[in-house]
Structure 1
């Protein structure tokens, strides 16, 4: 019986997507299926999937571009099995990925989310360490490095203090994700919003430390002027304030206070200030300072 729906919302680099697909095809067992939802128009992609002729792979191309959040929700609509993974189209599963999450699902069958161990890589596929990832490891992630089951206000507060999860590597219980879906008014922080919905609903996160997934960061993305317009931080600020009000009503006072402060998000804006000056000039610098200080 198939249990794992591996979903690949795709847009962009063809070669990296093909590597991601090959990493899924290297998984063992017969309890999984790969579903690729193409939100782009790169030539040759449908033909490449047709040539795979692999019954474990489904391929769809959207008639119109749905955008990131829209394509996430389209993927969730197509999920039919007990668990799903919304894998990044440039990330890589290690051959042991499903073995790790299978074991975690057996150990914690009621968990709505499973976060396995992750290695961060760069555009070239080599290990890539950034300030963001060092901060996740040293300040925000759980200090107990063994398997654990987390939830409630304590986990909500920890993630609002600093989101140490790697969204594309998470294995989700499909029923729980379908219950909420991704907020269509969010384009950057929709993953954390879904996690908050689940925690407020009483769901839990299973953490297992064994590394089985490579999450790709692209250094060149930092040079995009659009990253410094302030849009993503305005969205984040709105989310944190709304979440603070929600948690106050729930009685999670400490988590609400942390969300209202959203210190890690503001500090992140400060770390981007030099690049904002370089790539977006005064507009970028103003956007970073506005988020960091207000």
Structure 2
């Protein structure tokens, strides 16, 4: 963080938020040092690359890597071309669509004699989307991959992507990977982004998919090319459009792309291209309208991350199951009256499962005895996510007396060790890749305070009260996931707890592991295989 960027951020965030952001920046630097000191754990060695060169895939499509170039510095362009030509998967073509006013790009490419390089000189510089679309038109591949004109691929990038295509009975329409950033011309690698598998709700709030992106020609023909109206966020709008069209999207949890940052790049200084984020806002609005889940997205202080105020239309009925009248009174204070929202508060006098069976409303809220909402209109805010038919349960961010996180989504490992994501992080922290600050799909949420779609919780057989926290909580979330519904964490709703949570219950853990042994063997699709699974702190392996 240089002085100018620091001053800009201070103006943008104010003293309090800037102080917290500086603390998070310091944590990022610690992560970077670990990443740089252990880079061999995350990138392939020469022996592995040599083995990849020998592999013959059953399905080995021609992959066209499309690069819209504009006055690209020769040193960066040479590095890009070298990174493509050195791929361990060789059935590729590099399609350069050059919108430059000078011959700088062409002159640099003339240094290469590789027939896999395809160059077209555009009649004019018509913007990133139209320039890229001309590259698409010139590409011959069954699959197309996007590469920015000064970025780099790791040598195993295409190998891993094609390997993913071959790993499924139905060949995926689109594949994306993890990425990091390369600092100018220093070769220094920083900020690895270890991403979740397709995370519908998180994607609506930020283009976490970004690089490296590869998709089929068939999908491109189906949905159309990039849309110039969204220049700067054209790839975001494209991914949202593909997702809305039902594309089968897969994720390779490996660093395959180095995104170059320098003072004028969006990666280093988001304010340098504010229009890009405004177009991202437009892209989200368009997507929500097209899928019929209307809402109003808005930019946040953290450019590239958006808030969505989903519309509540029609009438809603909610039963809130609470511990006593005192808790109910506290809950009522934080929820305004609405003509289209009927809330029935009930004290649970017997078994929770029996009380839930008797619920007749569309939605039911379960609240433990020490859970008090801190967020205004909390029922309304939970409804905004739980109203959609693909959602089964919506959870919240639970905080302790010191306003630190006790639960913000649940993580687990193959031994059924369960932990909270971002455990004991200050509530205002944004967390790794903003995962503590953005509504998202998760595999589990704490039942300290949640909203269910009533038909869903009844369909999956309710809450198994033989388990204690956190296994009771993860069990019902697993059942909801298995039934095909989403588990949503709404990080905008905060709940205060009187006591700290105890994540250790050996008896429940043993029984839970027996019930869910097969599911526990699989990686948490909303975490990442490069992260330590036994806790939720997003620590690099």
User: Structure 2-normalised TM-score?
Assistant: 0.41
> Structure 2 vs 1, CA of residues 29 and 199 (structure 1 numbering), >3 Å: closer, same or farther?
closer
Given the alignment of the two structures, is residue 120 of structure 1 paired with residue 181 of structure 2, yes or no? yes
Structure 2 matches for 1:117-266, cutoff 5 A? 117-123=178-184, 124-129=186-191, 141-142=195-196, 150=198, 155-167=199-211, 169-179=212-222, 180-221=224-265, 227=272, 230-248=274-292, 253=293, 256-257=294-295, 260-262=296-298, 265-266=299-300
Q: Deviations over 1:214-253 (max 9, x none)?
A: 122223446989836x5334433333323222222xxxx4
Structure-1 separation of matches of 2:101 and 2:118: 17
Distance 1:45 1:200, change over 3 A: closer
The CA distance in 2 between the partners of 1:41 and 1:126, in whole Å, is 31
Q: Residue 22 in 1 paired to residue 56 in 2?
A: no
The structure, 1 or 2, with the larger RCO (C-alpha pairs under 8 Å, 6+ apart) is 1
TM-score of the aligned structures, taking structure 1 as reference length: 0.73
| Post-superposition CA distance 1:143-171 (Å, at most 9, x none) | xxxxx5x4xxxx4322012221123x111
Higher strand share: 2
1:95 aligns with 155
User: Is the 1:156–1:196 contact (alpha carbons within 8 Å) kept by the matching residues of 2?
Assistant: no
Instruction: Work out whether residues 94 and 213 of structure 1, in 8 Å CA contact, stay in contact via their aligned partners in 2.
Output: yes
Q: Provide the C-alpha distance between the structure 2 equivalents of 1:38 and 1:28, rounded to a whole number of angstroms.
A: 26
Gaps of 5+ in 1: 143-147, 272-294
Aligned-residue offset at 1:182: 0.8
Structure holding more helix per residue: 1
Contact 2:180 2:189 in 1 (8 A): yes
CA RMSD of aligned residues (A): 2.7
Unaligned runs of 5+ in 2: 1-59, 306-541
Offset of residue 175 of structure 1: 1.7
Q: Hey, what does 1:41 align to over in structure 2?
A: 101
Paired residue total: 241
**How many Å separate the matches in 2 of 1:234 and 1:156?**
21
Quote how far apart the aligned CAs of 1:101 are: 0.8
In terms of Rg, which structure is larger?
Answer: 2
